[in-house]
Amino acid sequence: MLNQKLKNYNIILASGSPRRQQFFHDLGFDFEIRLREIDEIYPDKLNGQEITNYLAQLKSAAFEGTLQPNDLLITSDTIVWHENKALGKPKDYEHAFQMLQSLSNKTHQVITSVCFKTQTTINLISDTTAVTFHPLTAAEIDYYLKHYKPYDKAGSYGIQEWIGFVGVQKIEGSYTNVMGMPLDKVYHYLMNL
């Protein structure tokens, strides 16, 4: 369905995330992957959605001057926002353990911004999902980290993995947003091009 709608566009996904790439395959349209290395550094004064908006646009800026007239570049960024700070990807086991302990028995927000860039336009959409964890024991956190090694994930967890099955009490909002992209919003944006 989207393939016909997007036939005049060359869709470029600028993400190394296997989950985002699979989402785009599952939506059923043709796209290519292009990656650029950037330092994901943002000003300290930014909070919540300001951070993801800034980083999604920063990722798109790396392609400035390289886009062709029919290119549509899609970049995105996801953070876990908890107790007024952003939890990014963990540095190591200890860091991941501390993050999951801090999320235990509490509610946090998962915030994603998606940037759509052409030669002449730039548009942003974003989404926030509230995720509440059951109390997590040290043994449960240790088991998850040793078996799933979620070191490439913001907040040190993937909701689609074991910890999501046993640890997440409830979510309010988009499930796919917690996995890294609010697919419903992306789909509707693309359908309305």
Among residues 9, 12, 119, the alpha carbon closest in space to that of 65 is found at 119
The region, left, alpha or beta by phi > 0 then psi within -120 to 50, assigned to residue 156 is left
Q: Is 26 a catalytic residue?
A: no
Please say whether the beta carbons of 72 and 116 come within 8 A.
Answer: yes
For residue 134 the two structure tokens come to: 């059951």
Of the candidates 26, 30, 44, 77, the residue annotated as catalytic is 77
CA distance 43 to 65: 25
Alpha-carbon torsion, ordered 22, 89, 126, 34, to 10 deg: -50
What are the residue numbers of the active site? 77
